[in-house]
Structure 1
Amino acid sequence: PPFAKPGQTIDVTVSSIGNAKSLRGGSLLMVPLKGADGQTYAIAQGNLVVGGFGAEGSDGSRVTVNVPSVGRVPNGATVERAVLSPFSQGGDLVLNLNSPDFTTAQRLAEKINDVLGDSVALPMDATSIQVRAPGN
């Protein structure tokens, strides 16, 4: 998840790849969670919690509720490496209006400048207002 720091735990969702009918009672063995870049970002393991179930009768009838081949491991992964975010590295914050309007953008920038000082906020267009982050 965004802004996760090393040492924090996160929930893990597990799905069956093969032809397993249910993951009920299963455990996830220790596995690295890797990003698209091949780097390990978290290590996961633990007991699965499955919300679905299935039952079969001797006559071949079958009932399935929810998805028994998918489970969760609450707090099952420990973050090993943080994902870099431009939010924490940049010096500016951009506010976007729900409804684009030049007048509203200008007024919002003026109010921010009234409170934080001149040239802190600048309307970029009808939707966005750029706000310079404080140095400290």
Structure 2
Amino acid sequence: TVSSLGNAGSLRGGSLLMTPLKGADGEVYAIAQGNLVVGGFGAQGSDGSRISVNVPSAGRIPNGAIVERAVPDGLSSNGEELVLDLHRADFTTVQRLVDVVNRTYGPETARAVDGGSVAV
């Protein structure tokens, strides 16, 4: 999805030049470019009247990115653990999850990493 900066009236007919897509860590994960598909439109009359339907200053580029690097998954560096993260950190919930997994799959299958994560 592409949006305009500033006071552009519409992105209809526009295209995105080659742009790196960076993650929160500052690394480039994909390169995007292509023609924009805009779902909205706007019109303005000579008397100053104006109408806009949906958002003409935002658009999408279908299949517009080439992935350069895979996003890290939940597996640890040795590939033997899966780390489950709770939506809301809670020590009691983490301990209950560890207890249920260990009771179901055997002792020491799961361990609490911190107040919001369980390694299995």
Q: Could you report, residue by residue, the CA deviation over 1:77-136 in whole angstroms, capped at 9, with x for unpaired residues?
A: 111022335x222635346487x695x7666544422331122235689x767343xxxx
**Quick one: higher RCO (CA 8 Å, sep 6+), 1 or 2?**
1
**Paired position in structure 1 for 2:83:** 93
**Paired position in structure 2 for 1:40:** 28
Compare the two structures and name the one with the higher strand fraction: 1
* Consecutive aligned runs of 4 or more in structure 1 exceeding 3 Å deviation: 34-39, 94-98, 104-111, 121-125, 127-131
Alignment partner of 1:49 out of 26, 34, 37? 37
Q: Distance in 1 between matches of 2:59 and 2:105?
A: 49
- 1:120 lines up with 2:80 in the alignment: no
Structure 1 unaligned runs (5+)?
A: 1-12
CA RMSD for the aligned pairs?
Answer: 3.4
Q: Secondary structure at the match of 1:113?
A: helix
Structure 2 unaligned runs (5+)?
A: none
Q: Could you report, residue by residue, the CA deviation over 1:51-79 in whole angstroms, capped at 9, with x for unpaired residues?
A: 22111122211111222111111221111
Alignment partner of 2:18 out of 30, 35, 45? 30
Contact persistence 1:42–1:79 (CA under 8 A): yes
- TM-score w.r.t. length of structure 1: 0.62
Contact persistence 2:91–2:116 (CA under 8 A): no
Count of aligned positions: 117
